[in-house]
Structure 1
Amino acid sequence: MISTAVTRTRDPRPDPGPRLETVYRPRGALSLGATVGVFQRGPGDPAQTRDGAVLWRATRTPLGVATVALRQQADGAVRAAAWGPGREWAIAQVPALCGAEDDPTGFDPSRHPLIADSHHRHPGLRLGRSDLVFDALVQSITEQKVTAIQAFAAWRRLVTWFGERAPGPAPKPMFAPPSIDGWRRIPSWAWHRAGLEPPQSRTIVQAARRGASLVAAVERATDGPARDAVLTSLPGIGPWTAAETRIRALGDPDAVSVGDFHLAHQVGYALTGRRVEDDGMLELLAPWAGQRQRAIRLILASGVSEPRRAPRLHPMDHRDR
């Protein structure tokens, strides 16, 4: 059972309303942590956290803010509870979040021994989807051309400062991301204090000005290239950001984040023992066309990575400059 005890805090909690519960029983193996854990943006993410065996999410749904608690039972089923005005949407979305719409048809892991081994060792790895296009887009923009530490810190500050306090008995104060209009209204000084560079903040504000029409156009698009065309029509959004948005919001099994600082090197080293650039990565992934994101996720899950050749890059803090 998911505990409903409210942690004592001086932070006021909104009225959670009635709790809704459901049990999602996946058709096959499911690793909740591997499938849903990837949506968390760093250890201090105010919108997603893990407390023991329970995974907590604060989301802004089309019906309002909701808090969701997920716990996987010994039989593989996922028990879910939700609070807040968006609880019905959040409960209905749990199967998709857990990969119920993920279709591995046509994926052949035997084409490479490393992927075959990883597929065997991680049978519960699914491609989940959040169905929250704008949130995924903002996350991807904040992660452009910076270290993960910088991006996660900026996301944490902005969501905490301008998001909405999540309802329900989460183990610590959690916040749902701002609304689309809320992102547009963040003052310029706040972006800087959060550690986000002007090109990123401008891109988020410009995307928010198109708001609902942008989200609707992405959702109407019928395939990855069509979704990319919608997203990359905005200044500041390129193929990497579009692919990351498709992966997180829509669970796109074929999206490849071309232009990533590390990904091509990781894929090349895992599959060939040497680094490759983007063109080489795409050539290596070609045997899994239509399922390239699944192949990438299994490569990353394998734990095989190139030995570090140089000291880790330390992020620069520009907020006081």
Structure 2
Amino acid sequence: MPGVEEWRDGAYRRTLRLPYGHGIVALTPHPDHIGCRLTLTDPRDLTLAISRCRRLLDLDADPVAVDGQLADDPLLAPLVAKAPGRRVPRTVDEAEFAVRAVLGQQVSTAAARTHAARLVTAHGEPIDDPEGGLTHLFPAPEALADLDPESLALPRSRRTTLLTLVRHLADGTLQLGVENDWERARAQLTALPGFGPWTTEVIAMRALGDPDAILPSDLGIRARRPGARPAAHPAALTARAAAWRPWRAYAVQYLWATEDHAINYLPQ
């Protein structure tokens, strides 16, 4: 997302909204660790910033337990053997991720980035980044709650979805922190206009941190399920995935990574 994230000099860099100020983190992959370089406006945010970066990268997962379970399935076993230890990408900001999930509904990832960049430029908080090209913090729900719907370059139905979401986040009616009840959050999301199973489950997977979240309607998973030609029906995939519990979110990562594909159209 331009302005908030970038890849520079071999590192993933992004801005962080923190309780006492803001920060910029650069995360660099190495063979045996992830290098983490933080620039903070207030050192009191150090512990929380590190925790959020670990969560973003799912560094507290148990890959031995996950891979041991998934490798029992003969169809997943080759994928696990080829690239063991896959993690589930999480987030440093649950509200930000939920907004981005809505912006990505029924459009390509390129279009979703464009929508997000417009939102960031218009409503995000400017920051200085002497070492790179980061320019803003992603706007907080409170900054988006009173937006004029006509100012959003989105279909009318998605404007309603986005504004309803941010208003519930801003007033605390909806909470998506890692400490919140997953099933209650799912029920609250499903009750919002424009929230179908895909959006709800991807938020459960990446924002709430449910390791068993699965997206059986996702075209990428259905098309890439090992041994499945043509794409599997969602009900059939759900039945097959029962053996992957409680690590179905990790199975999704293995299936998404089987090969490059052009499926880029995200449902609700």
Range of TM-score over shorter length: 0.7 to 0.9
1:101 to 2:101 alignment: no
1:151 to 2:112 alignment: yes
- Contact kept, 8 Å, 2:21 with 2:41, in 1: the verdict is yes
CA shift, 1:258, in A, is 4.2
- Runs of 4+ more than 4 Å apart: 217-220
1:189 to 2:145 alignment: no
Corresponding residue SS for 1:271: coil
Change (3 A) 1:304 1:101: same
Change (3 A) 1:240 1:63: farther
The superposition leaves residues 255-286 of structure 1 with CA deviations (integer Å, 9 ceiling, x where unpaired) of: 122443x2353244x33232122212212222
- Contact kept, 8 Å, 1:67 with 1:87, in 2: the verdict is no
Distance across 2 between alignment mates of 1:220 and 1:134:
14
- Contact kept, 8 Å, 1:59 with 1:176, in 2: the verdict is yes
The superposition leaves residues 46-83 of structure 1 with CA deviations (integer Å, 9 ceiling, x where unpaired) of: 32111121110113234443211112345424232233
Equivalences for residues 278-297 of structure 1 within 5 A: 278-297=234-253
TM-score of the two chains, using structure 1 as the length reference: 0.71
- Contact kept, 8 Å, 2:221 with 2:255, in 1: the verdict is no
The aligned residue for residue 241 of structure 1 is 199
The superposition leaves residues 182-230 of structure 1 with CA deviations (integer Å, 9 ceiling, x where unpaired) of: 11133333312xxx2222222221122222414436655434x332112
Equivalences for residues 154-173 of structure 1 within 5 A: 154-173=115-134
Amino acid at match of 1:239: P
Change (3 A) 1:52 1:251: farther
Q: 2:84 aligns with which of 123, 136, 139?
A: 123
The superposition leaves residues 111-166 of structure 1 with CA deviations (integer Å, 9 ceiling, x where unpaired) of: 34452222223234212432522111101111112222222211122112221223
Equivalences for residues 1-321 of structure 1 within 5 A: 41=1, 45-85=2-42, 87-88=45-46, 89-104=48-63, 105=65, 108-192=69-153, 196-212=154-170, 213-216=172-175, 219=178, 221-223=180-182, 225-260=183-218, 262-268=219-225, 270-303=226-259
Distance across 2 between alignment mates of 1:241 and 1:273:
25
Corresponding residue SS for 2:59: coil
**Identity within the alignment, %:** 23
Distance across 2 between alignment mates of 1:289 and 1:92:
26
Distance across 2 between alignment mates of 1:292 and 1:95:
21
Amino acid at match of 1:102: A
Change (3 A) 1:53 1:304: closer
- Contact kept, 8 Å, 1:80 with 1:94, in 2: the verdict is no
Amino acid at match of 1:169: P
- Contact kept, 8 Å, 2:6 with 2:133, in 1: the verdict is no
TM-score of the two chains, using structure 2 as the length reference: 0.83
Aligned residues: 260
Amino acid at match of 2:141: I
Corresponding residue SS for 2:25: strand
Distance across 2 between alignment mates of 1:60 and 1:271:
43
- Contact kept, 8 Å, 1:138 with 1:204, in 2: the verdict is yes
Segments of 5+ residues of structure 1 without an aligned counterpart are 1-40, 315-321
Give the stretch that moved more between structures: 202-211 or 289-298.
Answer: 202-211
Distance across 2 between alignment mates of 1:258 and 1:181:
33
- Contact kept, 8 Å, 1:163 with 1:178, in 2: the verdict is yes
Amino acid at match of 1:49: E
The Cα RMSD (Å) is 2.8
